[in-house]
Structure 1
Amino acid sequence: MKLGVYNAILHDRSLPEALEAIAKVGLTGIEINTGGFLPAVHVPTFDEILSSDVARDEYLGLFEGTGVSIAGLNCNGNPLHPNPLIGHAHAEDIRRSIRLAERLGQDRVVTMSGLPGGEPGATTPNWIVNAWNSTALDVLDYQMGVAADFWKETDKLAADHGVKVALELHPQNVVFNPAGIRELVERTGATHVGVELDASHLFWQQMDPVAVIRDLGPLVFHAAAKDVRVNPSAAIYGVLDNRFRKLDPSEPRTNLGGDEWANEWPKDAAWDFVALGKGHDTAYWTEFLRALQEVDPEMWVNIEHEDVSLGRIEGLEVASAVLREANATLEVSVR
């Protein structure tokens, strides 16, 4: 398998410095953020690349001799947000990222399916966690219809540019499990929309990423290696633990578009994002890679580091060691 890093954790440094850091931990790819929730820090000449071959070639030249190549683009966001300051901006980021991918010789763009409001005229997204009543099913049908309209159009754009769009199975989106992606594909007839298999969000939903990969098969286009540890407090609060705290404007916080901001995580959270190996051992990650290899031996599997107990480089070192060992074990077993 091809192993890399999603670059958000390296936004504190220049692209050449990020490439050097990735090479030092033994990985060969960088998945580059190109909009959505986060800015395109490592693509400062985005507009120029779209229109100028000189700008494109200068950008691609930054990768020459580094041992690290582009491993897809990422613009995770909410393209269906009913607030146009967020929804329209994130939708346009996806379209721009598809065009940029073609310009850079890439064929994968990672994002999320999005989440609209629960009815026409709504101003905030509405995630139905458990549709036990009839009204909730009506909301879900409306939301999937909104999603289908957007993704049918976007699938055509992606096909026209030779790009496949990989949707992260992320809660608080219309598509967050296999049933959701299958319904979206059925409604749209999509040929260039599938899944980015990020194990972490499946773990905390109590799903088995290996089983999900084998269930979805060719609908898996891309993958992220991020671990989760379920903590003892899950016995009290459950995995839908909602004890987040809204951060004050005077505190450091991450903007998610418009006037939406990331909240502070619960102190004794039911679960945490952790570096590979701290939630599931190397043997598990070997089987994760094995399932992905059965789908596509050339698929990129990119580490996403969100373990707040470890520094930026320290976390990449820990995760890289586990992922590379898992890959080496896999290679030996298939010889």
Structure 2
Amino acid sequence: MKLGVYNAILHDRPLPEALKVIADLGLTGIELNTGGFLPAVHVPNIEKILESDAERDAFLAQFEGTGVAIAGLNCNGNPLHPNRQIGDKHAEDIRRSIRLAARLGQTRVVTMSGLPGGEPGAIRPNWVVNAWNSAALDQLDYQFDVAAEFWREIDELAREHGVKIALELHPQNIAFNPASFRELIERAGTSNIGVELDASHLFWQQMDPVAVVRDLGEWVFHAAAKDVRINPNAAVQGVLDNSFRRLREDEPRTNLGGDEWANEWPKNSAWDFVALGKGHDTAFWTEFLRALHEVDPQMLVNIEHEDTELGAVEGLEVAAQVLLDADAALASSLATN
């Protein structure tokens, strides 16, 4: 397997320093953010790279001799947002990331399927959590039609550039599990759109990431290694707990586009994102890698660190050790079979 890090957690330092952190962890890949919810901190000159071979070559030269190579691009956002100030920007970031991937010799762009409003004229996305009533199915029909039109266009662009799009199965998106992913690609008639298998968002939905990999098979194009710990309060509030706090303008907060901001995580949370091993042990991650290996022995698997209990490098060290141990265990078992 090819193991690396999604670079968002290292945006506080220059690219050469980020590459050294990753190399020191014993990992060999960096997944670069190129727009969407987050700015392209480590690729600030995208337009120049798209236009100039010299700019492209100079950017790629930064990786030479580091032991770390680019392991896909990431452009997570909501390209279907009904507020076009947000949706249009995120959609164009995806198009630009596809063109950039081709320029950099990459074949994977990670993003999200997005979420439209629930009806024409809506100004906010509307996620159907449980479609038990007929009106909810009417809404989903409308949303899938909107999504299919967009992703049909993106699929064509991806094919033209030799790129595959890996959609993160993320709640609050039209495609958040295998059934909704299949519904999307069947309606859109796409060929180059698959899945980024991020175990974390499956864990808190009470899904089994290994079973999901085997269910989707060849549609798994890319993977993220991020863990989740289910906390005792889940027994009382459930995993859909909405006890978030709106952050004030004078508090540090992350902009998600337009005038949308990430909220403060619930204090007594039902679940948390944690470093690998704090939610599921090495034995689980060995089987996760095994399932991915069955799909593609060269699968790109990148750590995403969002454990607020650990610092950036500290959290990556914990996660990398578990992932490397799991990879070694997988290699050993394959060698003896």
Aligned residue pair count: 335
Whichever residue aligns with residue 255 of structure 1, its letter is N
- Alpha-carbon distance in structure 2 between the residues aligned to 1:289 and 1:248: 41
Query: How far apart are 1:73 and its partner, in Å?
Result: 0.1
- Alpha-carbon distance in structure 1 between the residues aligned to 2:29 and 2:190: 28
- Alpha-carbon distance in structure 1 between the residues aligned to 2:94 and 2:60: 21
Q: Which residue of 2 is the match for residue 17 of structure 1?
A: 17
Whichever residue aligns with residue 296 of structure 1, its letter is D
- What SS class does the counterpart of residue 85 from structure 1 fall into? helix
Query: How far apart are 1:3 and its partner, in Å?
Result: 0.2
Q: Which residue of 2 is the match for residue 256 of structure 1?
A: 256
RMSD: 0.3
Whichever residue aligns with residue 4 of structure 2, its letter is G
Identical amino acids, percent of aligned pairs: 76
Query: How far apart are 1:83 and its partner, in Å?
Result: 0.3
Deviations along 1:112-150, whole A, 9 cap, x unmatched?
000000000000000000000000000001000000000
Q: Which residue of 1 is the match for residue 180 of structure 2?
A: 180
Within a 5 Å distance, the mapping from 1:1-335 to structure 2 comes to 1-335=1-335
Whichever residue aligns with residue 111 of structure 2, its letter is T
- What SS class does the counterpart of residue 47 from structure 1 fall into? helix
Question: Structure 1, unaligned stretches of length 5 or more?
Answer: none
Query: How far apart are 1:185 and its partner, in Å?
Result: 1.2
Whichever residue aligns with residue 193 of structure 2, its letter is V
Could you list the runs of 4 or more consecutive aligned residues of structure 1 that deviate by over 6 angstroms after TM superposition? none
- What SS class does the counterpart of residue 334 from structure 1 fall into? helix
- Alpha-carbon distance in structure 1 between the residues aligned to 2:213 and 2:190: 19
- Alpha-carbon distance in structure 1 between the residues aligned to 2:176 and 2:116: 14
Question: Structure 2, unaligned stretches of length 5 or more?
Answer: none
- What SS class does the counterpart of residue 22 from structure 2 fall into? helix
- What SS class does the counterpart of residue 175 from structure 2 fall into? coil
Q: TM-score, normalised by structure 1?
A: 1.00
Whichever residue aligns with residue 333 of structure 1, its letter is S
Deviations along 1:37-85, whole A, 9 cap, x unmatched?
0000000111100010000000000000000000000000000000011
- What SS class does the counterpart of residue 89 from structure 2 fall into? helix
Query: How far apart are 1:188 and its partner, in Å?
Result: 1.4
Whichever residue aligns with residue 260 of structure 1, its letter is E
- Alpha-carbon distance in structure 2 between the residues aligned to 1:185 and 1:261: 30
Query: How far apart are 1:106 and its partner, in Å?
Result: 0.1
Deviations along 1:125-180, whole A, 9 cap, x unmatched?
00000000000000001000000000000000000000000000000000000001
- Alpha-carbon distance in structure 2 between the residues aligned to 1:21 and 1:31: 14
- What SS class does the counterpart of residue 277 from structure 1 fall into? coil
- Alpha-carbon distance in structure 2 between the residues aligned to 1:265 and 1:136: 28
Whichever residue aligns with residue 114 of structure 1, its letter is G
Q: TM-score, normalised by structure 2?
A: 0.99
- Alpha-carbon distance in structure 2 between the residues aligned to 1:329 and 1:274: 22
- Alpha-carbon distance in structure 2 between the residues aligned to 1:60 and 1:202: 34
- Alpha-carbon distance in structure 2 between the residues aligned to 1:212 and 1:187: 21
- Alpha-carbon distance in structure 2 between the residues aligned to 1:235 and 1:50: 51
- Alpha-carbon distance in structure 1 between the residues aligned to 2:276 and 2:108: 24
Query: How far apart are 1:35 and its partner, in Å?
Result: 0.2
